């Protein structure tokens, strides 16, 4: 295996394990009393500072033109604000493993939206992947034994807003991308917008989190998640640069499985046969949706 392959594999593994574990980390913080709005702010601001540091080292900075600012507002609003508020709110009320599976639906939703907007051509195998993803969600919400408490079902359905919003952001990241600027600078600007907009929102809502000293477990969780996010954003676009977006899409397998395993180890979650069946369907759906048209025949 050539060096680039090894580097890409290392980046893939880091991002997958990091973002998968972040589901459990977010549950530690929110269940420990950190309001989701305050959580979004702290993760965004710390990640933004990390990315800015990387920009300084590489001597490249986010653009400030109207086109760039519009990009930060739209993508940051969708990915950093909307999707993350849904995610961090939902994880407080449902098992971490279940949310990890829900987040794994992102590429399936991305393909569905692209198909609806005629950005993708219909392919039977990839459409089958959509069906598998739908069946996976059904396994979570229909059987009475899938979740520990049936009151969690509305929260799980609410949580679908996170991968749906991530999917929409994924499409617009490409369609609205400015002609100038690289992935690092665009991501940095996006995350800074998320942090700036979440500060007044959390203050007005009375949800701003004031870290304690010495730091408590929720505070450490916030810091850990922010560090993971900041580094993982950089690792993600480096991986895409080296090996392409199709290779990077394999992240979803690692994120989903890591999230499920983290829930078992850290919260003693005991997934039922329905949860495992739903997980298998979602992973199978992602595998089919990730098939490129030229490989389908």
pLDDT for res 246: 61
Enumerate residues 6+ apart whose C-beta is below 8 A from 257.
20, 100, 279, 283
Residue 271 to residue 253: CA distance in whole angstroms: 17
Secondary structure element (H or E) that encloses residue 4, with its range? helix 3-31
pLDDT for res 73: 95
Q: Average pLDDT for residues 88-107, to the nearest whole number?
A: 88
Three-state helix/strand/coil letters over 138-150: HHHHCCCCCCCCH
pLDDT for res 248: 73
Enumerate residues 6+ apart whose C-beta is below 8 A from 113.
167, 168, 171
Exposure of 174 by Cβ count < 10 A (0-12 exposed, 13-18 middle, 19+ buried)? exposed
Higher pLDDT: 239 or 207? It is: 207
- Total number of domains constituting the chain: 1
**∠ CA 118-124-127 to the nearest 5 degrees?**
65
Inform me whether the pLDDT recorded for 43 exceeds 80.
yes
pLDDT for res 244: 67
pLDDT for res 123: 79
Q: Is the peptide bond before 214 cis (omega within 30 degrees of 0)?
A: yes
DSSP code of 77? Answer: I
Inform me whether the pLDDT recorded for 90 exceeds 90.
yes
Q: Average pLDDT for residues 24-51, to the nearest whole number?
A: 93
Tens digits of per-residue pLDDT, 161-176?
998 998 888 788 878 8
Residue 170 to residue 289: CA distance in whole angstroms: 15
Higher pLDDT: 74 or 272? It is: 74
- For residue 130, what are the domain limits? 3-295
pLDDT for res 292: 54
Helix, strand, or coil (residue 269):
coil
Inform me whether the pLDDT recorded for 195 exceeds 80.
yes
Residue-averaged pLDDT of the chain: 86
pLDDT for res 142: 75
pLDDT for res 37: 94
Which of 14-28, 86-100, 127-141, 205-219 bottoms out in mean pLDDT, i.e. has the lowest? 127-141
pLDDT for res 143: 72
pTM for the predicted model, two decimal places: 0.84
């Amino acid at each position: 295996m050539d060096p680039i392959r090894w580097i890409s594999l290392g980046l893939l593994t880091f991002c997958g394990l990091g973002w998968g574990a972040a589901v459990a980390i977010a549950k530690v913080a929110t269940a420990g009393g950190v309001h989701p709005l305050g959580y979004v702010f702290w993760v965004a601001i710390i990640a933004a500072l990390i990315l800015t540091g990387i920009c300084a080292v590489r001597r490249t900075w986010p653009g400030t033109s109207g086109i760039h600012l519009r990009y930060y507002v739209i993508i940051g609003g969708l990915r950093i604000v909307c999707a993350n508020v849904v995610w961090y709110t939902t994880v407080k009320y449902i098992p971490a493993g279940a949310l990890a599976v829900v987040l794994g639906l992102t590429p399936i939703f991305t393909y569905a939206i692209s198909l609806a907007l005629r950005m993708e051509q219909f392919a039977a195998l990839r459409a089958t992947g959509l069906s598998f993803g739908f069946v996976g969600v059904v396994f979570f919400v229909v059987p009475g034994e899938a979740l520990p408490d049936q009151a969690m079902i509305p929260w799980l359905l609410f949580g679908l807003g996170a991968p749906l919003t991530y999917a929409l952001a994924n499409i617009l990241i490409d369609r609205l991308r400015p002609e100038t600027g690289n992935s690092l600078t665009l991501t940095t600007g996006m995350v800074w917008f998320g942090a700036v907009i979440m500060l007044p929102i959390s203050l007005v809502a009375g949800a701003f989190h004031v870290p304690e000293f010495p730091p408590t477990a929720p505070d450490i969780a916030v810091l850990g998640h922010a560090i993971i996010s900041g580094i993982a954003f950089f690792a993600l676009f480096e991986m895409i640069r080296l090996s392409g977006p199709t290779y990077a899409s394999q992240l979803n397998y690692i994120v989903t499985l890591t999230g499920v395993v983290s829930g078992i180890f850290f919260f003693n979650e005991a997934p039922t046969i329905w949860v495992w069946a739903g997980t298998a369907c979602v992973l199978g759906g992602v595998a089919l949706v990730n098939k490129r048209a030229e490989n389908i025949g």
